[in-house]
Chains A and B, each alone.
Chain A
């Protein structure tokens, strides 16, 4: 009998024998969506450089993916990815990290690089909690939830619309899905990879162990069903007021537009400078 091998197994680093994800974690679904998108585009791992920060989601590419992977400091993967993209403009650079990493400690790198519209794919894995450190409140934890650092319940307003933040900052592709929508997510990742610009996908994902327990929803299936129940498409969502959308998850592609992309602009300026065109400004006294 020949051994059965998963069709995506060729994308997994040979030394990897297991994942570190908890039972019921949605990160495996997201990993599969990313790999299915790459496979679906007939691309290979050598077309990519993956960058991640600190947190559960950062372990999706590191060490799982058999590619060039840079596992960076907390909050900074997009800033590292900036340098990688400038050094290897012909490669696809993908950041995979969590909501705490990208939106709390690393929030400004997300905003500024969306503004720059530098070509890269950023997958924000939003589980609404700090999972790896044992379930502390995140900027994405709904108000009132009791966590290990908010034993009486969180008293802060929370980020309900990260995708909206990135849209406002100027990204040329923005989408939001949940792990209950893996096919749609895969399709959006494909679009994001092909996008000439900053492409951001927020994925709401179930964390039954750290988030679910605190919310009183114990298992992954329950959480996925909740995502399905609460989800509403971007088109449908437009028909409702802000108040009516309270507690709902607006899913779909929110932004998809063409605008100047930073790497191309930099290349253009370099070409001119190398030819001695486009004189730099006179800075006055120098040397």
Chain B
């Protein structure tokens, strides 16, 4: 393999390595992290690859400083990321909220593992789904992508950087140990086929006092450091100019709503789903590694003459409620599958229950991808 930014070609590649290659291809220049299973291969690959393209990976003293350094680097105009697993995210959450609050583009990869607490590091679960959405304090919106294959570890990392830059926000990749450690065919396209975006910044030379660098629902230009913008960046409640306001609750309301609306207003452009439920009476809704079993079960069912379809959430956050509603109107029965005890299920049920029967199929053993035969059994059960 060459030392270029984009190593175009066809590979048999580990998901975690594909993620790192996707980051480099997307133009990532700065990464910081702390060793943790099952995400280490991403850090290892970034440590080797980033210096080859003028960037660097830094092993910090903990996950708190990792995300802090990533945010700092992003404010200098560098595309930045961190990679970790659930315990690391738990430590990062305060600063993830900071990144949301001061509108900092960055990519956070969570290769989820057996949890809660230290749990079982080499087993994949989908246990941190709501943590990504709600983990930091206060109301906010986040973007979360759920890859289900090594190819998507590459593709989604590129998309994550583009979303981060376009919407000036942290973007989660919610992978897990199965997808991260899975080896499969990965095709890395030629550089000109990879779309990469870069944040808007103010016109150089603009009077710093006139820069409205924050709280625009259509994404304010980012007054990055080192360009003479004299940016005052504070995560305390602030106005469009970055000026702190700690006394006026209408300023707080504006702060909260503008940040959330920035994501919600663009939900349609952000949302990615994969749907295959034309004419289906039963629809299997899933995401990530579990979606592989759901797809197999659906084709098995169809071969048995059962009208079964699938809906795979690629972006779980912001929650694609409209897509769920659209599907639910056509379905009679909806089965939600997750490798956890039902984290996204309540969100799905809230949208779908008006139109169809919604049930949850928990994993037989948490940490195990369901057997398609078991899913088929559940399909027959709900069709009775």
Contact = CB atoms under 8 A, between A and B. Distances in A.
Interface of A: 13-15, 45-46, 49, 51, 62-63, 66-73, 76, 79-88, 91, 108-109, 112, 266, 269-270, 272-274, 276, 280, 283, 286-287
Interface stretch (B74-82, B123-131, B279-287, B289-297): B74-82
A86 B95 contact: no
Given A287-B14, A287-B17, A83 B74 contact: yes
Contact of B234 (A14, A62, A276, A283): A62
Given A69-B233, A79-B60, A46 B228 contact: yes
A108 B64 CA distance: 11
Contacts, number: 152
A272 B52 CA distance: 8
Contacts of A63: 232, 234, 243-244
Contacts of B77: 87
A286 B45 contact: yes
Given A83-B76, A280-B48, A49 B32 contact: no
A274 B72 contact: no
26 contacts: A13-B230, A13-B232, A66-B208, A68-B225, A68-B226, A68-B229, A69-B233, A71-B234, A72-B68, A72-B98, A73-B68, A73-B94, A79-B69, A82-B32, A83-B76, A87-B30, A87-B73, A88-B225, A109-B61, A269-B51, A274-B3, A274-B53, A280-B47, A286-B17, A286-B41, A287-B12
Nearest to B18: A287
A83 to B, nearest CB: 3
B214 to A, nearest CB: 13
Given A71-B235, A270-B51, A287-B12, A86 B69 contact: yes
A131 B277 CA distance: 61
Given A72-B235, A276-B3, A66 B230 contact: yes
Contact of B209 (A14, A67, A270): A14
B170 to A, nearest CB: 14
Contacts of B229: 68
A79 to B, nearest CB: 4
B299 interface: no
A76 to B, nearest CB: 5
A188 B209 CA distance: 32
Contacts of B18: 287
Given A14-B209, A15-B243, A112-B61, A80 B230 contact: no
Contacts of B72: 51, 70, 79-87
